[in-house]
Amino acid sequence: MPVILPVKGVFPKFGKNCFIAPNATVVGDVVMGDDCSVWFNTVIRGDVNSIRIGNKVNIQDGAVLHCTYEKTKVHLGNNVSIGHNAIVHGCKVHDNVLIGMGAIVMDNCEIGSNTIIAAGAVVTEGTIVPSGCIFAGVPAKKIKDISEELISGEINRIANNYLMYSGWFKPEE
């Protein structure tokens, strides 16, 4: 069973058709939309501030979502994919974003829509990532504008695939 705990009397809330892996941890002030998935060994800690997650968001294996006490919150838009072992900390991520495996997005960052944060990238504190581009490197910088093919071929494909994968874990009726 996943670890789902209240913090100071505030319980996580989940939308319809969400998959929470048996060893995932979700605590505190977390509100998740519909059609989301939280994968194995993921930790979503809404203990020191709030975490808001849109619809059709997948948070892949080993990812961590957290905030800074009384300073920063996490807000994820719709159709967002958080890659394996990524860290998303006290930032805002707009719709249709892919945050790659092992990427780190720090406090007070804002990631625009239709954007890819490359695997292993470190988006340093306070960085504003414009819509429609790819950021990569340490520290992360814009490397190019995103093509329509990458929006549909990567961002949307991954979000749709994870919705399908989560269905594989639902009990048969």
Q: Could you give the CA distance from residue 64 to residue 36 in angstroms, rounded to a whole number?
A: 15
Work out the average pLDDT over 134-140. Answer: 98
Give domain status of residue 173, yes or no.
Answer: no
Give residue-wise pLDDT tens across range 69-92. 999 999 999 999 999 999 999 999
Determine the residue type at 105. V
Give domain status of residue 98, yes or no.
Answer: yes
Instruction: List CB contacts of 111: < 8 A, sequence separation 6 or more.
Output: 91, 92, 93, 94, 97, 99, 105, 117, 123, 129
For the chain, what's the residue count?
173
Write the CA distances from 173 to 19, 161, 164, 170, integer angstroms.
16, 22, 17, 9
Tokens of 9: 């009397």
Give domain status of residue 16, yes or no.
Answer: yes
Q: Could you give the CA distance from residue 151 to residue 85 in angstroms, rounded to a whole number?
A: 22
- Residues of the chain with pLDDT > 90, as a percent, come to 93
Give residue-wise pLDDT tens across range 39-71. 999 999 999 999 999 999 999 999 999 999 999
Give domain status of residue 172, yes or no.
Answer: no
Give domain status of residue 50, yes or no.
Answer: yes
CATH number of the CATH domain containing 103: 2.160.10.10
Number of domains forming the structure of the chain: 1
Give residue-wise pLDDT tens across range 88-113. 999 999 999 999 999 999 999 999 99
**More confident call, 23 vs 172:** 23
- Which domain, by its residues, includes 40? 3-167
Q: If you search the block for the tokens 């009384």, which residue do you land on?
A: 70
